[in-house]
Amino acid sequence: MKANNKSARPSQRVPERGRAASAKGSTPSYSALAPRRIAEILKRLDQLYPGVTCALTHSSAWELLVATILSAQSTDVNVNRVTPELFRKYPTVEAFAALTPEQLQPDVRSTGFFRNKSKSVVGAAKKIVAEFGGQVPDDMEELLTLPGVARKTANVVLGTWFKKAEGVVVDTHVHRISRRLELTTQDDPQKIEQDLMKIIPREKWILFSHQIIWHGRKLCISRKPKCVDCPLENLCHAADKTWSTVELHKNAKA
């Protein structure tokens, strides 16, 4: 079966209906960023993932910050295996601030990149205690001064804990799916975020990120996305689709 042939080009993987659509050429009026298309994508995401939120287990802004730092290059499931014991052992930001990175390393080792992550978590704790009275700041500029915190982590904490829409979380799922859906042509997370902030209504920024992250876990996975089961399928022209009823666009890919 061609879908299993790794050397097959995307256009060879699509079924008869997809190839027929490709042969007709581009629809002249197609615009990836047309407000109606964006609204339809958002509507379908709402139907598919109503009320979803962050999958990282946490009970405070500090715990969410730590979990988000630990989630880099790891999975939420993996992080959730580590954090309950971690927060039992070190229940406050002050307890983390009293550690050296080396002391924390064994506790976070299984999340990968544990030396850098330990340095970031302990560094962030020390700064929060020394400069922010032990409270995680609810301000983008201040969050970005913490070691190991870039916009993605800051947006997770601001959106999920403080309910402040300051930006759009661009993690690996949002990066991949935004490109597949032609919501951006950029590759740099900050530029992707800027593109998304222009086309997604601000009141949707927080939910949109969560929905796309869930979509990336459930259906629009990195390799062999489950397009045949995807409710966005006829709006999606991704070149790396595994099944299609619409033409494919060669630049629309992860």
Q: Which residues in this chain contact ligand SF4 in the complex, by CB under 6 A? A: 180-181, 219-220, 225-227, 230, 232-233, 236, 238, 241
Q: Shortest distance, CB of residue 214 to ligand SF4, whole angstroms?
A: 12
**Active-site residue, selected from the candidate residues 152, 195, 240, 241:** 152
Indicate the residue among 81 and 218 with the shorter CB distance to ligand SF4: 218
CA 114 to chain centre: 21
Indicate the residue among 14 and 65 with the shorter CB distance to ligand SF4: 14
Is 152 annotated as catalytic?
A: yes
* Whether the Cβ atoms of residue 32 and residue 183 lie closer than 8 Å to each other: yes
Is 229 annotated as catalytic?
A: no
Q: Shortest distance, CB of residue 155 to ligand SF4, whole angstroms?
A: 22
Question: CA-to-CA distance for 14 and 210, rounded, in angstroms?
Answer: 29
**Active-site residue, selected from the candidate residues 107, 171, 195, 240:** 171
Indicate the residue among 70 and 236 with the shorter CB distance to ligand SF4: 236
Largest CA distance in the chain: 65
Indicate the residue among 164 and 253 with the shorter CB distance to ligand SF4: 253
Q: Shortest distance, CB of residue 53 to ligand SF4, whole angstroms?
A: 21
CA 144 to chain centre: 18
Q: Shortest distance, CB of residue 22 to ligand SF4, whole angstroms?
A: 15
Indicate the residue among 86 and 230 with the shorter CB distance to ligand SF4: 230
Q: Shortest distance, CB of residue 49 to ligand SF4, whole angstroms?
A: 13
Residue 249 phi/psi, 5-degree rounding, is -110, 120
Tell me which residues are annotated as active site: 152, 171
